[in-house]
Amino acid sequence: MDFFKIKDLYPDAELTDQPFLERDTFRLSYKNKWIHIPNETINEKEQALLSLLKEESEPDAFPISNSDWSQFMSGRKEQPPQTTKPVRLIQLYLEKMDQQFDYSIWMDSVLHLFEPVLDVFFITRDTCFVLQDNSAHSLSQDEITGMLKTLEDDFSIRTNAYIGHFWQPDNQLLRVFKEEQTIFQQEVAHMHDRISSLPDVALRYFTHEAVANSTIIKELKKQIEGQSDWKELIFSMWESQGNVSVAAKQLFVHRNTLQYRMDRFNQTTGLSLKNMNDLLLCYLLVL
């Protein structure tokens, strides 16, 4: 497979280091990178041919699951497997997998680490789904980070994760899960941490289109991008929820130094990072 030949056929195709783009694309792995072809430029027959090409370019095929949850997630079953408890989807995207990667051992390890688990299966060679109901232990994000770090060390890989919300197993469940897939695919390149959940990415995801189309936002962005340290300042103040002392510790500066930077920011932009409404607006500007 040659990217430049594909580019001749599909001029809008892109070659990236990231597995997902914000727009809907057909993805092919290529020399530790990814080729993205916009789906709107591919007809049904071309989609079938590209799928065959994808199979050839990824010979280390992942194990195909025919479980009830797998069939439900792929749309082959209309109703979720019978359960009365709320269910969540954990999405794991694996990077730097080598030829010796053992899918069976990986899934067995995930079953034990995340126990109890309703199901675990791969939907692509590098994307794994874990389904749990709310009888699962309530784990903090730090605890889940530690669990995934154990897997990374054991398998010499890198993992990005999206920890889904618990949802009722009704006729909207598949649509909710599909939207969570879209959210993760669009936001994984922008995640500050390699593990995130809906609250971590909701602001950017749900406001992205409005922010991108706003002339006011673009003008405010220019002011902030004029100073190299202001983005870090805004992130620290947001993460500390406006607590100057905590933010100063995160930035390894004296409280008075941070206060001076905030005053300078206020004089230049007219926005105060002490005011939560102003801070929220600034956070949206740098997402």
**Amino acid 226: pLDDT:** 79
Judge if the upstream peptide bond of residue 11 is cis by omega within 30 degrees of 0.
no
**Amino acid 170: pLDDT:** 92
* Backbone torsions φ then ψ of 167, nearest 5 degrees: -125, 150
Segments of the chain with pLDDT less than 70:
1, 17-23, 31-32, 54-61, 192
d(CA 113, CA 144): 9
d(CA 10, CA 1): 14
* Backbone torsions φ then ψ of 74, nearest 5 degrees: -90, 0
d(CA 21, CA 18): 7
**The length of the chain, given as a count of residues:** 287
d(CA 283, CA 273): 10
pLDDT tens per residue, range 22-38:
667 887 777 667 788 88
pLDDT tens per residue, range 161-188:
999 999 999 999 999 999 999 888 888 8
**Amino acid 34: pLDDT:** 76
Q: Which architecture does CATH list for 214-286?
A: Orthogonal Bundle (1.10)
**Amino acid 56: pLDDT:** 62
**Looking at the domain that runs over 68-197, which CATH code has it been given?**
3.30.70.920
Single pTM value for the model: 0.69
Domains 68-197 and 214-286 share a fold: no
d(CA 30, CA 34): 5
Give the β-pairing of 87-95 and 158-163.
antiparallel
The secondary structure element, H or E, covering residue 5 is: helix 3-9
**Amino acid 46: pLDDT:** 84
Burial 193-222 (b: 16+ CB within 10 A, else e): ebbbbbebbeebbeebeebeeeeebeebee
Domain range list for the chain:
3-57, 68-197, 214-286
**Amino acid 7: pLDDT:** 84
Strand partners, 160: 93
